[in-house]
Amino acid sequence: MGAKKQSQVVKSEGNGTNDVFASCSFSSLGLDSNLCDQLRERLGFEVPTLVQAQAIPVILSGRHALVNAATGTGKTVAYLAPIIHRLQSYDNRIQRTDGTFALVLVPTRELCLQVYEILQKLLHRFHWIVPGYIMGGENRSKEKARLRKGISILIATPGRLLDHLKNTTSFMYSNLGWIIFDEADRILELGFGKDIEEILDLLGSRRKRHDDPENTVPRHTKIQRQNLLLSATLNEKVNHLAKISLDNPVLIGLDGKKIEPISTIESLDPSESDEDNEDKYSNKILTVGDYKVPTQLVQRYVKVPCGSRLPVLLSILKHLFEREPSQKVVVFFSTCDAVDFHYSLLSEFQFSSYPQTEGIRQIFLGCKTFRLHGNMEQADRRTSFQAFKTEKSALLLSSDVSARGLDFPKVRCIIQYDSPGEATEYVHRVGRTARLGERGESLLFLQPIEIDYLQDLEKHGVSLTEYPVLKMLDNFPLYGQKNLMKKSVFLDSHPWVLGLQKALEAFITSKPKVDELAKKAFCSWVRAYTAHRGELKRIFMIKKLHLGHVAKSFALKQQPSLVGKSFQKQTQKRKRNEKKNGLSKRRKVASILLSISRNSPETELCH
């Protein structure tokens, strides 16, 4: 099949005055009237969003599709509604014993639950279509029992799906008509490429090279298979997944872009890619072009020297909640340990800026605070996720587990305290606010030595303005001297910052448990910092960091010596091994990165 015939592009219809909603009805898109009622009554959706207006007719037509639209524009319903429409329209009602008709693959457990909840609402009037989910952290035998009974539309994380495909003989999928990859790029980034290839093979949905006579998807199923890929950010790996899983796809929201025909069989498995491959991918990622960020989102950065990061973060949070007591804010950290440390700190840290009220110290931040990361117990993870969703005013401290797809209503501000790394992650993190045309703001913390990261974002069409941090800090009273305080021009000598840092260090010294968490967080933060890849290694260089200042950002008076030693030991051991094995320089870098990413807490998200 040639490139020309391979893809048809549906142009975006955004007109500037209304970038989110389309000027048509759901029924005019061809959806069943009961389903339209359901969308209105259960979900409160009166009219489709632009991406829904573009995607629904294409998906109803049975064509494979690759959908690219900004965060928070309604991609979930864009694929669920046409599938439900088709399933409810069969003359012979589908039954549980028919097994699974549609499979939705998602990168995280929270997204799995979120899609399931929406599906449940949409299926209220179609009780014979059974929704279900399988995901890491859940009870396998209970899942087996549910699969045996039959699940019509199944949401799954890749690892657990593969497990059931191999081990649950009663899992019936011979009627499978749809495979959807929601947040396709993230699934691949989390290292599930090999699992995905295996899943596609097991389901008979993998295409071959374009010059292979058996190029098309096998048609051994009763129903012709339709595959869909969706994300707000697409990269070269998604391009490859598209090539091996989509047959003559329609490209939605990808004006002017093409999927190249398959000329070589590349692997989606990161363990098979050496550094050359890594370079190839990062080069191509740069050619993907601008990312779509909600136009109404106010994006800013704040330049903070490492040693002042913690008091500045706390001050900004205090300022935000004092400015608007009822609101939701999410702070992103690079590691699970950092989330735990900051959570403990914010839950207990008390402070008084007035000497006369020294005896009646108050908790520094009065808002409800939640935490979410991949190393939490499944039950706690679920509770945090649901609670933050329903709260009207709260703070969520999170790892990247919340960055993708999660739809927390009314989040006003996103703070990226630790840099996100790839620009794609930046886009998804900020995408948790300013959803569906609502207002929102984001703030990225950068150290002066990291400021080139802004240029990296610029390459993807993302530009940020500077946040007036000194002006904000000058509004805090220090020992009642608000008006007398001499204005400081430097953050690290600002009296409020210095006073707060001192109080934080005293607090940590007095709390052995929090002190322990701080040391652990320091250690994993340094490890995560070394894990930046490609171009980003030049911006986020561990060598440029003053580790004493990093320790200060965890309110530690000294750099934990134990961490330093164990780190050195690890490095020496690795060097000895490499010398023994005679690894090339390039290989060395790849192996260091691989070992770090294997240790990375977020790689176990979906298990």
Give the interface with ligand ATP as residue ranges (CB under 6 A).
45, 48-49, 52, 69, 71-77, 232, 405, 407, 431, 435-436
Closer CB to ligand ATP, 190 or 523, in the complex: 190
Name, in order, each residue with C-beta under 8 angstroms of 384's C-beta and a sequence gap of 6 or more. Answer: 370, 371, 372, 376, 396
Cα end-to-end span (Å), the chain? 37
CB atoms within 10 A of CB 533: 18
Cβ neighbour number for residue 110 with a 10 Å cutoff = 27
Closest by Cα among 382, 450, 397 to 419: 450
Print the SS3 string covering 105-143: ECCCHHHHHHHHHHHHHHCCCCCCCCEEEECCCCCHHHH
**For the stretch 408-418, what's the b/e string if a residue is b when 16 or more beta carbons lie within 10 angstroms of its beta carbon?**
beebbbbbbbb
CB of residue 466 to ligand ATP, shortest distance in Å: 26
Helix (H, G, I), strand (E, B) or coil at 179: strand
Core vs surface per residue 229-255: b (16+ CB within 10 A) or e? bbbbbbbbbbbbbbbbbbbebbbbbbe
- Cβ distance 55 to 22 under 8 Å? no
Nearer to ligand ATP, 10 or 539 (CB): 10
Tokens found for residue 85: 């429409």
Amino acid at 326: S
CB of 31 to ligand ATP, least distance (A): 12
Residue nearest to ligand ATP (CB): 74
| CB closer to ligand ATP, 81 vs 217 | 81
Residue 293 or 473: the one with the smaller Cβ distance to ligand ATP is: 293
Q: How many whole angstroms separate alpha carbon 503 and alpha carbon 275?
A: 46
User: Which lies closer to ligand ATP via its Cβ, residue 104 or residue 508?
Assistant: 104
Compute the least distance from the CB of residue 137 to ligand ATP, in Å: 21
For residues 31 and 446, which CB has a smaller minimum distance to ligand ATP in the complex?
31
The token duo for 216 is 């098309």
Q: CB 443 → ligand ATP: shortest distance, Å? A: 19
Minimum distance between the CB of residue 117 and ligand ATP, rounded to whole angstroms? Answer: 10
3-class DSSP string for 517-565: HHHHHHHHHHHHHCCCCCCHHHHCCHHHCCHHHHHHCCCCCCCCHHHHH
Looking at residue 522, its amino acid is F
218: left (phi over 0), alpha (psi -120 to 50) or beta: beta
Nearest distance from C-beta of residue 250 to ligand ATP, angstroms: 18
Q: Which of 189, 195, 242, 192 is nearest to 65 (CA)?
A: 242
- CB atoms closer than 10 angstroms to residue 370: 20
Q: 29 with 56: CB under 8 angstroms?
A: yes
501: burial class by Cβ within 10 Å (0-12, 13-18, 19+)? buried
Closer residue to ligand ATP in complex, CB, 228/232: 232
Residue recorded with tokens 């295409």: 207
Q: How far is the CB of 126 from ligand ATP (least distance, A)?
A: 19
For ligand ATP, the closer CB: 16 or 44? 44
Closest contact distance (angstroms) between CB of 49 and ligand ATP is 5
Residue 172 Cβ, how far from ligand ATP at the closest point, in Å?
Answer: 29
Q: How far is the CB of 379 from ligand ATP (least distance, A)?
A: 24
CA 476, distance to chain mean position in Å, is: 34
Residue 547 CB neighbour total at 10 angstroms: 16
Among 201, 205, 197, 156, smallest CA distance to 177 is for 205
- Which is nearer to ligand ATP, 334 or 424 (by Cβ)? 424
381/389 with CB nearer ligand ATP = 389
3-state secondary structure of 181: strand
29 versus 514: smaller Cβ distance to ligand ATP: 29
The least distance separating ligand ATP from the CB of residue 289, rounded to whole angstroms, comes to 17
35 and 122 in contact (C-beta within 8 Å)?
yes
Selection from 267, 225, 223 nearest residue 244 by Cα: 267
- Does residue 176 contact residue 156 with C-beta atoms inside 8 Å? no
**Shortest Cβ 208–ligand ATP spacing (Å):** 31
Of 25 and 282, nearer to ligand ATP (C-beta) is 25
Residue number, 438 or 578, with CB nearest to ligand ATP: 438
Tell how strand 350-351 and strand 362-363 pair up: antiparallel
469 with 302: CB under 8 angstroms? Answer: yes
Q: Choose between 232 and 251: whose C-beta lies nearer to ligand ATP.
A: 232
Nearest distance from C-beta of residue 26 to ligand ATP, angstroms = 8
Between 6 and 52, whose beta carbon lies closer to ligand ATP? 52
Question: In whole angstroms, how close is the CB of 82 to ligand ATP at the nearest point?
Answer: 14
The least distance separating ligand ATP from the CB of residue 228, rounded to whole angstroms, comes to: 13
